[in-house]
Amino acid sequence: MTKLTHLDKDGRARMVNVGAKAVTERMAEARGRITMQPETLQLILDGNVPKGDVLAAARIAGIMAAKKTHDLIPLCHPLALSSVSVDFTPDTAANALEISARVTVSGKTGVEMEALTAVSIAALTLYDMCKAADKGMIISDIRLTHKSGGKSGIYNAK
C-alpha cells in the first residue's frame, strides 16, 4: 500500500521535507471543462460578454492562481515557477470550453497542484464573469493529465 507522505507516523498532517531531494525539471498538465448554454458560449467566443474579455481574464486568473497555490493549499511548498500557460478550446458540439494548464519548474517537488489550481481558478473566473447570462454552467472533469520529472517519473492519464 502506498504511504501518504503528508502524514507523520502518528497520522498528523505535516509538510514533506524535500531538502534532500534533487532539483529536476518538472512539468505538469491539467485539464477541465465548463459547460454552458449555447448562447453563453457564443457570447464568449464573439467577445460580447458585458464584463469584457472573459478568456483573457480567466487566463490571467489561472496563471496567478498557479503562482499562489501554496497560499491556498496548506501543505504545498512555495515554488519559483518557470512557466505557466492556460489555454481554452471551444467544444461547440457540447456547448463547452475545455481548459488546459501547463506548469514547469526546476525544483525539488512537482507542480501537479499548481496545474490543477490554474484550471480550477480559470473555470471559476469564467463562471463569475458569465453568471449573469447563465447561472447553470457546470464545471467538471478537472484532472491531472500528465506529469514528468522527479523520482516518480512520467505519468500520463488514461
Catalytic residues: 128
Q: Contact 119/87 with Cβ under 8 angstroms?
A: no
Phi, psi of 70 (to 5 degrees): -65, -20
- Grid coordinates representing 130 are 458569465
Chain-centre distance for alpha carbon 66: 7
Sequence-separated (6 or more) residues with CB below 8 Å from residue 22: 108
- Grid coordinates representing 104 are 514547469
